[in-house]
Amino acid sequence: MRLGCYKLLTTVALPLIAWSGWKRCKKHQQQRATRPELPAIPHCFASRFGRNPTPFRTGGIWIHAVSVGETRSIFPLLRALKADYPELPLTVTNGSTQGAIQALRFAPVDIQHQMIPYDFPFAVNRFLDQIQPKLVIMIETEIWPNLYQACSNRNIPLVLANARLKEKSFAAYQKWGGKMLKDALNQTRFIGAQFATDAEHFEQLGARPDRIKTLGNLKFDLEIPTGLLKNAESWKTQHGLQTRFIWVAASTHADPEHGESEETKMLETHRELLQTQPDALLILVPRHADRFEEVADLLAKSGLNWTQRSRQQPISADTQVYLADTVGELMLWFAASHAAFIGGSLVPFGGHNILEPAALSKPVFSGPHYANLKALFDTFIEQAALGLIDSPNDLAHHLAELAQKPQRQAELGERAYRAFAQQSGALQRLMHEIAPLLSDKR
């Protein structure tokens, strides 16, 4: 595909794109009516077209992360940029309202924020006029041809950092990307690939080899919040959980194609586990906040004893499931647990980040659907640091073994931590590559 054809197709699709964006912003606004802890997203819809009256500071660094995982991965980067370039304002954009919630609530330093403008030249150029960045950093697979072209036209250095390509995305780009994608990739100052496989894929798509650098995965450089372990122990003591086996099912998904959600599978797992570990506790953390109510309804019909975090309900001796229906507390649940299952993997979604529980030395389990993060998962699989399961029964069997054999639990947790630790350093390497792009722009 060529850029002209892309512009034509996106222009034709503009009403549909606008309708989708309006619905998402409206939905977030409605959620805030019942969940006041959610931050407002100022000018959520208008900013998608570059219309935002906020008086942004100019001449800084623009970092774009599309959704939740990508946003949390840039927190160490934001901290490092603020430390090295304190005079430069940091502007963060997101492509999803869930990502925006993470940025607005949990960014570790002062940021400017808005939703990313849609990839129309008029919207992108309005935003660039407004913030006039010295550097643009796009995270993972955010390749927007008009935005890349606008930055090139203005001689604004653009970096594709923590870059990766899912196998499905790679196949689609090979089929449809053509000259437009090749040109966009070569308008970057460099592509910081996560793994060698990603670097090879970008080269096969037309990126010049001298623009590709394999720097590692920023998510391996996550920082454990100060006091996390102490807070987790305090939470367990508060609820009398010191001697109970606790496991987390995190980032669970619906499965509209096959009907049975991952939450249903996790409850099946837990029922089986309770047969041998009658005091076991499941902390259930759905991936998307807009499904919290749906999962609460499922629990209400499950026959299990359950409580709900958002209602500040206490955990009693007979509580079997704890619905963690809040945002930003996942690391606390991992720290309080003995093992973790990471969702999006027992349904055909493609997997989610396994690094947070690994960084806390917890045994980590996943289903067989991890194509979105294959290179990352492969590094763990090669070191026997990840438990792959194919059914609720299989997961229950492994959890029961860990509950009965603390030594095995510690061994698997240590393997997970070693696999995590051996991949660190991506942030330092990225900062080194960024430095020349900002050295004459202070």
| C-alpha–C-alpha distance, residues 146 and 129, integer Å | 15
Q: What is the number of other CB atoms lying within 10 angstroms of the CB of residue 389? A: 20
Q: Which residues does residue 366 pair with via DSSP β-bridges, in sequence order?
A: 342, 388
Provide the 3-class DSSP secondary structure of residue 138. Answer: strand
> How many CA atoms, within 13 angstroms, populate the side-chain half-sphere of residue 6?
20
Among this protein's residues, is 263 annotated catalytic?
Answer: no
> How many CA atoms, within 13 angstroms, populate the side-chain half-sphere of residue 392?
16
- What strand order describes the sheet that includes 321-323? 306-308, 321-323, 281-286, 246-252, 339-342, 364-366, 387-388
**Can you spell out the DSSP letters for 142-166?**
---HHHHHHHHHTT--EEEEEE---
> How many CA atoms, within 13 angstroms, populate the side-chain half-sphere of residue 143?
25
- Selection from 8, 44, 26, 35 nearest residue 293 by Cα: 35
70, 142, 262, 263: the catalytic one is: 70
The answer to whether 242 and 234 are in contact (CB under 8 A) is: no
Q: What is the number of other CB atoms lying within 10 angstroms of the CB of residue 206? A: 18
Q: Is the dihedral of CA 291, 297, 302, 303 positive or negative?
A: positive
| C-alpha–C-alpha distance, residues 299 and 296, integer Å | 5
- Cβ neighbourhood burial of 398 (10 Å; 0-12, 13-18, 19+): buried
Under DSSP, the state recorded for 347 is S
| C-alpha–C-alpha distance, residues 397 and 388, integer Å | 12
Q: How does strand 212-214 pair with strand 112-115?
A: unpaired
- Selection from 92, 79, 135, 93 nearest residue 442 by Cα: 135
User: Would you mind telling me the total number of residues written for the chain in this entry?
Assistant: 442
**In which residue are the tokens 């500040």 written?**
312
The CA-based angle 208-209-214, given to 5 degrees, is 125
The CA-based angle 216-329-304, given to 5 degrees, is 120
Q: Which residues carry out catalysis? A: 70
